[in-house]
Amino acid sequence: MEALQRIAERVNRNGDPDDVDTPRPLLTIDEFFDGNTSVGSIGCNLPQAPLPGAFYDLFKRIPARDDVADIRVQVTAFDDPDWPFSDTVYVMTTASPEDVASWFDTGFAPDEVSEGFNPGVTCEPYVVPAGVRPIGCWWD
C-alpha cells in the first residue's frame, strides 16, 4: 500500500477529518511522517518551513527522553490531496510546558505550548499513559 493511501485510510477512519464533528485523528509520528514529503503539512507558517523529515528527526529524539512516554500528531485537516495537515502535536510527558518548549530549536519552535488537549477540539479515543499528561505544541 502506498503511503498516501495508507494515511488517507487511517485519517478517515472516524469520518471526514475536514468535518468539524469528526474527532481529530491522533497519529503516531511514524503514521504521520512515513512517506510524507509534503512541505507545509506541519509548521507551514514558520519563516522557513522545514521539510517533514526534519520534523520527523526531531520528534524521534524526543521520546528517547526519560520524561516522555509518547508523541501524537493531531490531524487538523486533509484538504490538500498531497498529505494531511497538522498544527498540533501532543507530547505525553511529566515535563512542564516551558521545558517542552525548550526542546525545539528556533526554526521549529511552536507558537504556543500548553498543558492538556485543546479545549473545544474533540479527538479520537486515546489513553494517556499513566504518570504523564499531554502537552500541546501548536504552530499557527
> Could you tell me the three cell numbers for 22?
469528526
CA–CA dist 54, 48 (Å, integer): 12
Q: Report DSSP state, residue 44.
A: T
Q: Sign of the C-alpha dihedral, residues 126, 88, 42, 96?
A: negative
In sequence order, the 6+-apart residues with CB closer than 8 A to the CB of 61 are none
Predicted confidence (pLDDT) per residue in 64-73, tens digit: 999 999 999 9
The residue extents of the domains of the chain are 3-138
What type of residue sits at position 131? G
Nearest Cα neighbor of 46 from 109, 136, 102 is 109
> Could you tell me the three cell numbers for 119?
479545549
Predicted confidence (pLDDT) per residue in 43-88, tens digit: 998 988 899 999 999 999 999 999 999 999 999 999 999 999 999 9
Predicted confidence (pLDDT) per residue in 89-138, tens digit: 999 999 999 999 999 998 999 999 999 999 999 999 999 999 999 999 99
Give the N- to C-terminal CA distance of the chain in Å, as an integer. Answer: 32
H or E segment to which residue 127 belongs: none
> Are 75 and 11 within 8 A, CB to CB?
yes
Can you give the pTM of this predicted structure? 0.96
